Amino acid sequence: MTLNIPKEEWGNFLDDLTKRRFEWTTNLEVINREIGDQMLSDGLPLKGVTFESKGGKRVIEILLGKNTDDHQAHSIFDPEKVAFLADEDDQGGILEIEEADGTKTLVRILEPMPIKTGYGAYWTASA
């Protein structure tokens, strides 16, 4: 079920999402009628999603990456809608941010990053 987030709750929701899914593997896609679908990144870990509103202007920043050489930053100016569709198991999901012109930014939150230990990688699914 898609959860539409009220504008006055965007900041708290995105902060909470960042804390709960920090370092999870993501895909970042922008869908626009004029330019079509654009995959901006595939497989980068979530570093943060933030919301700021100053002087009547709103911006959402999406930060993904492993290091300074392998990262993606994406800004959405004057977003109109924020929604979240949780996976059936309530682990991952899709964050959808829509602009006034209909452009949609989709952040697919897929799975936790593996934790490297002495003899291999183990997965952790934290809430």
**Residue 26 near residue 94, CB atoms below 8 Å:** no
Digit-coded pLDDT (tens) for 13-70:
999 999 999 999 999 999 998 888 899 999 999 999 999 998 889 999 999 998 888 8
Maximum pairwise Cα distance, the chain: 52
pTM: 0.83
User: In which order are the strands placed within the sheet that holds 2-5?
Assistant: 2-5, 79-86, 93-99, 104-111, 25-32, 36-54, 57-67, 70-77
* CATH code, residues 2-122: 2.70.180.10
In the predicted structure, residue 122 carries a pLDDT above the cut 70: no
Q: Where are the domains of the chain?
A: 2-122
CA distance 87 to 69: 30
87-112 pLDDT, tens digit each: 877 678 999 999 999 999 999 999 88
